[in-house]
A and B are shown apart, each in its own frame.
Chain A
Amino acid sequence: MKLELQGITKQFPGVLANDRISISVDKGQVLGLLGENGAGKTTLMNILSGLYRPDSGSIRIDGTERTFRDPAQAINAGIGMVHQHFMLVPVFDVTESVVLGSEPTKGPLGSFDRTTARAQVVELSKKHGLHVDPDAKIESLPVGVRQRVEILKALYRKSEILVLDEPSAVLTPQETEELFEIIRGLAKSGTAVIFITHKLNEVIAVADKITVLRRGAVAGETTPAAATAASLAEMMVGREVQLTVSRSKSKVLEPILEVNEMSVLNDAGAIAVDRATFEVRSGEILAIAGVQGNGQTELVEALTGLRPIDSGNVTLESKPFAAGSPREIASAGVAHIPEDRNRDGMVKGMTIAENYILNTYHLPQYSKRGLLDRKAISAATEKAVKDFDVRTPSIDTDIASLSGGNQQKVIVAREFSRNVRLVIAAQPTRGLDVGSIEYIHRRIVEQRDSGAAVLIVSTELDEVLALGDRVAVMYEGRIVGILDAKDATRERVGLLMGGIVA
């Protein structure tokens, strides 16, 4: 089937998410839909899958105009979605998950015909080479297999247009490669595939044609043959990617953070960080690269006291802190910019001032005999808002009403308000606009220049390469390599991220 979207426009309050977007994909073709965070990719796909309705524009399948009022209609039209966050019921088994919504039944009560369903799933998975155990519980399956279940769901519904939204975000390189094989196989058998990603190399590897979105509109169309990573990046970002942060050479001094054979368990009790060993020295930035989900989150949580360290030892300025609470670690001079600012970094519903003192409120300058010193808090916040260029009507504004960039500035201002010996920044610029990214990078480099040790964890390779004086790579919980900036080429780091240790 041939799918065409023409002039799709969708307005949310304050955001023009899609602005006259037109794309098309043919039978047997793989369309790479490339765009940054916030480019409008997901909105477009939600329109395609019947979750949203466009304000204007049309969807055509094989030339016929279609409107989808709900997901069921989109499914019936042959569109299958594999969402970025899997839509699976953890306590169901694979068979139930695949057929949910189009279950074979028998009898007057609509009894679920399990035998037929199971046979269909087995047959389907054999036919497309998607190996899964039809009786396994979803919650017991690794991420890559869950994704196969998602693809099976779409195929079970006889989807001829398959949409994959950021499918490699949580996959290992091998799993990604397997996924590409699957996609190629599907295309060969006639399925039209839309592959949404922000990873340049992936579209080049798998797509037959590429459409680039920027700020809700189509920024360009090309083919892998005609495009280079650099040209795609330029289309995606709108100008020559200038991520090299201007900075002097680092003056590396004594080690601040020493991590020795540290292992950390995740929530399920599995090993998430496996005997990691590294150090971060005063005056340098150590950037940890890696695909999301390789233990970085647990590593940061362990180093900031949010997760117990299972074994190994960690010292901060030669003092052990393995048993430290977040507060003790913070008072020892560690600034922590958390990975997910909405979840950990700020309290929506509280003012900027309250968020500014979120983890310093107990210090003597803000708290006297168990009471908050409002004057001191206001004065300090006013100063921070000015210093960090936070755009806000007042310090008594609810932080929820600020833009992401300004929220992150409040967090950075708070973390840098103390005497900092070590900065731990996880995904410090995720989801921010370019201006805020540059600003926050500059602030981090300033900390380094003033003698702090900086540990940055980022899944964005560009950020890692731009900031790191040394680059470490995490893969399946292990630090698989640490490179000096001069040796840290995109290729070498990329290979390490894929678990290929030269």
Chain B
Amino acid sequence: MSRTKKSSKGREKVSASSVPAGVEAHNAGESAEAHQQQVAARIRAGLFAIFAAVSVSITSGSFGVDGNFAFWSDSIGGEQVFFSVPVALLWGIVSVGFIAITLLQLLRGAKFAWRASIGIIAPALVIALLARLLDGTTANLTVFFTSTLSFAIPVGIGALAGIISERSGILNIAVEGKLLSGAMVGSIASSITGVAIAGPVAGALIGALLSLFLAWLGIRYKVDQIIAGTVINIGALGITSFAYLRILQPYSEYNRPIGIETVDIPLLSHIPILGPIFFSLSPYFYASIGLILFFTYMIYRTRWGLRLRAAGEQPSAAGTVGIDVVRLRYRAMLIAGLLAGFAGSYIALSGTGGFGINTSAGKGFIALAAVIFGAWNPVYAFGAALIFGMTSAATTLLSGLGVSLPPQILLSMPYIVTIIVVAGLIGRVRAPASAGRPYDQG
């Protein structure tokens, strides 16, 4: 009995690895994959071309309309600097950009760094779209940028949490639940202690606790990791809503967190226009950038990262050279939980309202989208979070200004984009091979 089970497992591996019957045949295998990549590249080029065509047509229809923008020049709420740009010019830039990307994609094929190019063109596109939709109304771009960041921080850090746990081999669809719990516990801790730092710390701790629970279900009891994640998501929504209604609402003193003040970076924050956007932000922002860069380095350049990736790709390879895969996964989940809870605390502490029911509002799921869109790379994922943040900020801005556009379409973009990416239409993303599989030696 034990043999038969083993042989079945082994066979899969053998048939997967005993590919080549000779070198010549082997090249054929590579070219098949290359062919697939070329197809995806062509689809991308086609998509870019469509965008280019649409942009050109919008450009031609936008002459004579001005997009009116404003910035806070010295500090938020202070003096505004106004300026207007012809909408046609903005769209002209976007058109040229898309045409360039299309051409580059066609010329360079699979080698083209399309993710980065999307990262460059997307902000321009959103601004142009905004200008076009504003239709003369003035929009404050400082507000737009800060609101982009306030969306991107929890999503980006949530995505980082997802990346670390999935790189270690544990599927993490529970980011949403951890954000939510981090938000509530962060708010309560900050309110009770009256110490600002208590919020993020407590949020991170509860996130870690939930994360370890998820890992425990998945590793110790081999509960399907999707089911375990679902348990956390439902449970967190239930508990936080319950506690909110039962405690935080009637006794609102427990839900009046100390706001995390923005930090003005000396000198830099006084740069006109740029100062308020980049150098007068919540410490969360600086922490987030630091964490993203730190963990990107850790994942790709250190022993920890090498082992983490090995555990997520082929845990038996790590286990047989003496790496304790289970402990490694627990640790990764601990880190992921700390990060997600920390990100959650931002949601409750960055504004003024404290915690509210379902206050994360699906950001944890958008974080999953960012993980996939960013191909399990923290920097790319944060880029995706920024783009998603822009669409969200644009929607908020537009609805605040009473511009009549169905914002639902814009708000659906992250989800639609994710489906397209998961479907592999515009290029395969490779998930850690063993994410979601319990570690079985044999």
Are A and B bound to each other?
Answer: yes
Residues of chain A touching chain B, judged by Cβ–Cβ distance below 8 Å, are 12, 14-15, 17, 37-38, 42, 49, 51, 70-76, 81, 83-92, 96-97, 100-103, 105, 109-112, 140, 142-143, 146, 153, 157, 169-170, 265-272, 274, 292-295, 297, 339-343, 403-404, 407, 430-431, 476-477
Chain A hits for B441, CB < 8 A: 51
Decide if B317 touches A404 in the complex (CB within 8 Å). Answer: no
Decide if B21 touches A294 in the complex (CB within 8 Å). Answer: yes
8 smallest A-B Cβ distances: which pairs?
A: A269-B32, A72-B322, A101-B321, A268-B29, A342-B8, A293-B18, A270-B25, A270-B29
Q: Which of A73, A97, A111, A476 contacts B22 (CB 8 A)?
A: A476
Decide if A109 touches B297 in the complex (CB within 8 Å). Answer: yes
Interface band, chain B: 35 or more
Chain A hits for B313, CB < 8 A: 89-92
Binary interface profile of B, 307-335, with partner A (CB < 8 Å = 1, else 0)? 10110011011111111100000000000
Bound-complex Cα distance A293 to B1 (A): 24
Decide if A343 touches B2 in the complex (CB within 8 Å). Answer: no
Residues of chain B touching chain A, judged by Cβ–Cβ distance below 8 Å, are 1-33, 297-298, 301-307, 309-310, 313-314, 316-324, 430, 433, 441
Q: Which of A12, A73, A102, A476 contacts B21 (CB 8 A)?
A: A476
Decide if B4 touches A431 in the complex (CB within 8 Å). Answer: yes
Chain B hits for A112, CB < 8 A: 301-303, 305-306
Decide if A70 touches B324 in the complex (CB within 8 Å). Answer: yes
Bound-complex Cα distance A70 to B318 (A): 12
Decide if A100 touches B306 in the complex (CB within 8 Å). Answer: yes
Given contact pairs A92-B310, A272-B21, A49 touches B3 in the complex (Cβ within 8 A): no
Decide if A87 touches B32 in the complex (CB within 8 Å). Answer: no
Bound-complex Cα distance A146 to B17 (A): 10
Q: Which of B4, B302, B305, B433 contacts A404 (CB 8 A)?
A: B4
Bound-complex Cα distance A203 to B19 (A): 27
Decide if B1 touches A404 in the complex (CB within 8 Å). Answer: yes
Decide if B29 touches A100 in the complex (CB within 8 Å). Answer: no
Secondary structure call for the A interface: loop
B1, B29, B305, B433 — most chain A CB neighbours (10 Å): B1
Decide if B16 touches A71 in the complex (CB within 8 Å). Answer: no
Decide if B19 touches A343 in the complex (CB within 8 Å). Answer: no
Decide if B321 touches A75 in the complex (CB within 8 Å). Answer: yes
Bound-complex Cα distance A44 to B14 (A): 22
**Closest chain A CB from B36 CB (angstroms):** 9
Decide if B303 touches A87 in the complex (CB within 8 Å). Answer: no
**Closest chain A CB from B307 CB (angstroms):** 7
Decide if B310 touches A271 in the complex (CB within 8 Å). Answer: no
Return the chain A residue nearest B17 by Cβ: A143
Chain B hits for A89, CB < 8 A: 309-310, 313-314, 317-318
Return the chain A residue nearest B25 by Cβ: A270
**Closest chain B CB from A204 CB (angstroms):** 24
Q: Which of B9, B19, B324 contacts A266 (CB 8 A)?
A: B19
**Closest chain A CB from B337 CB (angstroms):** 21
Chain A hits for B16, CB < 8 A: 267
Decide if A268 touches B33 in the complex (CB within 8 Å). Answer: yes
Decide if A293 touches B14 in the complex (CB within 8 Å). Answer: yes
Given contact pairs A101-B318, A146-B17, A340 touches B7 in the complex (Cβ within 8 A): yes
Given contact pairs A267-B16, A293-B14, A38 touches B28 in the complex (Cβ within 8 A): no
Decide if A14 touches B1 in the complex (CB within 8 Å). Answer: yes
